[in-house]
């Protein structure tokens, strides 16, 4: 059985992972709701979105503002993650 990570948390950084668009939207809505309970907000200007092997052109929005799309790779906790799924 393969164990998959759902989310990666480190200090004040969160990497939200999902295989379906509907799942990522639901996770972000829940994160926003839970954060609001303690007075926190997601900073959309520090938020990046990357689709691995994209099959959709849907845009991720937080508080009606589009998140920046990363089209090649991003680094999280020293690991480089690429758009084609490479780590």
Q: Which of 10, 18, 5 has its CA nearest to residue 50?
A: 18
User: What is the C-alpha to C-alpha distance for residues 14 and 47, in angstroms, rounded to an integer?
Assistant: 10
Q: In the prediction, which pLDDT does 85 show?
A: 66
Q: Is the dihedral of CA 6, 79, 12, 43 positive or negative?
A: negative
- Per-block mean pLDDT, blocks of 10 residues, the chain (87 long): 53 75 85 89 82 73 79 75 71
Query: According to the model, what pLDDT value does residue 5 have?
Result: 53
- What lies within 8 Å, CB to CB, of 35 at 6+ separation is 41, 42
For the entire predicted model, the pTM comes to: 0.63
Please tell me the predicted confidence (pLDDT) of residue 87: 61
């Amino acid at each position: 059985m393969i164990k998959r990570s759902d989310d990666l948390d480190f200090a004040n950084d969160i990497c939200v992972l999902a295989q379906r668009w509907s799942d990522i939207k639901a996770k972000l809505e829940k994160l926003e709701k839970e954060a609001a309970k303690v007075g926190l907000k997601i900073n959309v200007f520090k938020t990046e979105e990357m689709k691995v092997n994209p099959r959709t052109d849907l845009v991720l929005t937080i508080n009606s503002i589009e998140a920046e799309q990363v089209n090649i790779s991003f680094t999280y906790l020293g690991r480089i993650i690429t758009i084609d799924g490479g780590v």
